[in-house]
Structure 1
Amino acid sequence: MRFTLNLGLLLISLIVSAACLWIASHSSWYWAVAAIWFFALINNMPFAMMHEAVHGVAAKSERGNRIIGTIASWAFPTSFLLQQKAHLDHHRRNRTDEELYDYYLPQQSKWLRNAWLYMGNLLGFYWFFVVLGNAIYLLACGFYRSNLFVNRIAPVLGFGPQVAELVKLPAFRVWYEIAMSFSYQALLFWLLDLNWIGYLACQIAFALHWSALQYVDHAWSSRDVKNGAWNLKVLPVSRWLALNYHYHLAHHQKPEVPWYQLPSLVDRQAQQPSFWRVYFSLWKGIRPAPPMGAPADLAFLFPENEEAK
């Protein structure tokens, strides 16, 4: 039942995403704008489904999870195995010194850390660099796995610890999965007779949304591996299209729980900032890092509460 539900939702989301790409390429500008906006939302569903498969909860069997995760990865585009390794490592590093983009440490360059925040999370380059890295892996696998890329280039882009672990994966399987993902994108482009303006506009809109969400659900939260996330308040349609991805604290606390059970784990009495409150707070830039174990910075996120005291 779980496999059938999730596979059905995945296929529907891929069809709707493809329709948005077609409308953005072939329709009047006002329909194109609507399609670009909706693509930024609906393309989160395949990513969220891949996220379910990464944790082994998209289906009850390993084979079912692999099928769903692999098909879902085509929409990003990425390798399912690559994403699985990167995301599980994220759960291990969350809010530690190795994965902290809203704060900076004394020995770190404040300018560089702000560049990672503004360009990466707020201007969409996080998605772009992930896809660029996948393209490099596809076209120059040896270079991606070289000491130069792993120890010099990746750390400058903010992916040092991640890439050092990713290069340990079986090279051919990762390469093959990336090739399948890029082939899917090329096939869509050809079958739907897309143009570059419509296609790139949709991808840029998704990049802006996805890149922001990846850190809005963590920014200013407690420096705790398990509890360093938020259950964000968003419109129900946005939360549903992302398969409750915004209930990120509940997910980090119990990653073995499937998406449709996450609402039951949310503490409604706890502070739930809105997506936009955290998003706009990030434009103020990074701040000095508190020590590991520090609680959420509610005074910064909700200054009106402090003024009212």
Structure 2
Amino acid sequence: MRPDQAIIAALPMAVKARLILRSDREGLRHLLGHGGLIAVCACWIGLGLPLWWALLPVQGVLIVFLFTLEHEATHKTPFASEALNEGVGRVCGFLLLLPFAWFRYFHLAHHRWTNIEGRDPELAGGKPETRAAWVWHVSGLPYWGAQAGLLADLIAGRAEAEYIPARARGRVVTEARWMGLGYGLVLLSLWSSPLLLWIWILPVVLGQPALRIYLLAEHGDCPRVANMLANTRTTYTSAVMRFLAWNMPYHVEHHVFPAVPFYQLPALHRLMRGQLQVTAEGYRAFTADYLRRRR
């Protein structure tokens, strides 16, 4: 048995049952806070209040970190209600050009083959291995190009990745086509009002670099081994950052026991903190170390 598996096997059944308990109340309370901040920024920008332009990157960071909620929804853990998990996941996917049905299968394959070359789909695009490549990666431009290409392929009916089961390909394509229709309506709306440009489209472009840095810390420069204690990194960070990322900086904990909902990850962290192998003292420290290794 691998060390990461042994940790979960050693937990008493009552503790495991408590850790995996999902809660609509906890999920909706967190969503109200995150969504409320997005709504406040949108109103401030839309009304053109003083320094509205300074809130564009703030709004972008708030929106792009809905990725962490969509990610959680693929596991069906942020809410007890399956309808809430599915609905919220699809809304987040639309805002981020990240089809929810496709992402679920992509992400489950990532969990099954975390950091294993040739198996983990997250490694298909490679990690930035030079400082210039890091700048290009963190700009977010490769992400938008890749997602636009993915959506075009899915709309055309090309959903043939090996991690997508044959039985699910129809659903994946159908969702992408509905998303394409939605984006078409958004483009049409810009002819009459630029509001969505200012409160959504431009902000997510400005905010994407923050998400790229965050995501790179999850597995970047971790050993290419099966042990989740070694191939994944937990990053110690502020309460604000943990709130924004739905506690996913506790990323080793999430990979070791993915059935645990976001609000229980701090409790799981306390149980296994002494066994963590790869950690970082904040995203600034991780980034500095990552770039130092590419000097």
State TM-score, norm by structure 1. 0.68
Give the corresponding residue for 1:66. Answer: 86
Deviation at 1:268, TM superposition (A): 4.1
Name the CA shift for 1:164/1:114 in 2 (closer, same or farther; >3 Å).
farther
1:207-250 deviations in Å (ceiling 9; x for gaps)? 11112222212122233332311110222111112110111111
1:141 to 156, 160, 180: 156
Alignment of 1:100-179 (within 5 A): 114=130, 117-118=133-134, 121-137=137-153, 141-142=156-157, 144=158, 163-166=161-164, 169-170=169-170, 171-179=172-180
Deviation at 1:277, TM superposition (A): 1.5
Give the corresponding residue for 1:254. Answer: 257
Name the CA shift for 1:263/1:206 in 2 (closer, same or farther; >3 Å).
same
Give the corresponding residue for 2:111. Answer: 91
Give distance in 1, aligned partners of 2:61 and 2:253.
21
Q: CA RMSD in A?
A: 3.9
Amino acid at match of 2:210: H
- More off after superposition, 229-238 vs 1-10: 1-10
Amino acid at match of 2:145: F
Deviation at 1:7, TM superposition (A): 3.9
**Paired residues of 1:42 and 1:242 also in contact (CA < 8 A):** no
**Paired residues of 1:47 and 1:76 also in contact (CA < 8 A):** yes
Name the CA shift for 1:29/1:89 in 2 (closer, same or farther; >3 Å).
farther
**Paired residues of 2:213 and 2:287 also in contact (CA < 8 A):** yes
Give the corresponding residue for 1:297. Answer: none
Deviation at 1:206, TM superposition (A): 2.1
Amino acid at match of 1:212: I
Give distance in 1, aligned partners of 2:283 and 2:203.
21
Could you say what secondary structure the match of 1:53 adopts? helix
Give distance in 2, aligned partners of 1:196 and 1:75.
12
Give the corresponding residue for 1:291. Answer: none
Give the corresponding residue for 1:36. Answer: 56
Give distance in 1, aligned partners of 2:39 and 2:188.
11
**Paired residues of 2:221 and 2:290 also in contact (CA < 8 A):** no
Name the CA shift for 1:175/1:40 in 2 (closer, same or farther; >3 Å).
closer
Alignment of 1:157-306 (within 5 A): 163-166=161-164, 169-170=169-170, 171-179=172-180, 182=183, 193-194=194-195, 196=197, 199-225=200-226, 226-227=228-229, 228-266=231-269, 267-269=272-274, 270=276, 272-273=279-280, 274-284=282-292
Give the corresponding residue for 1:155. Answer: none
Deviation at 1:87, TM superposition (A): 0.9
Name the CA shift for 1:189/1:55 in 2 (closer, same or farther; >3 Å).
farther
Give distance in 2, aligned partners of 1:241 and 1:230.
18
Amino acid at match of 2:214: L
Name the CA shift for 1:46/1:183 in 2 (closer, same or farther; >3 Å).
farther
Give distance in 2, aligned partners of 1:9 and 1:192.
31
Amino acid at match of 2:284: W
Deviation at 1:63, TM superposition (A): 3.3
Unpaired runs of 5+ residues, structure 1, are 105-109, 151-162, 288-309
Give % identity: 19
Give distance in 1, aligned partners of 2:113 and 2:34.
31
Give distance in 1, aligned partners of 2:69 and 2:189.
20
Could you say what secondary structure the match of 1:48 adopts? helix
State TM-score, norm by structure 2. 0.71
Pairs aligned (count): 262
Unpaired runs of 5+ residues, structure 2, are 1-21
Could you say what secondary structure the match of 1:95 adopts? coil
Give distance in 1, aligned partners of 2:279 and 2:129.
26
Could you say what secondary structure the match of 1:243 adopts? coil
Give distance in 2, aligned partners of 1:248 and 1:181.
33
Give distance in 1, aligned partners of 2:50 and 2:293.
35
Give the corresponding residue for 2:8. Answer: none
Name the CA shift for 1:285/1:205 in 2 (closer, same or farther; >3 Å).
farther
Give the corresponding residue for 1:16. Answer: 37
Give distance in 2, aligned partners of 1:73 and 1:237.
23
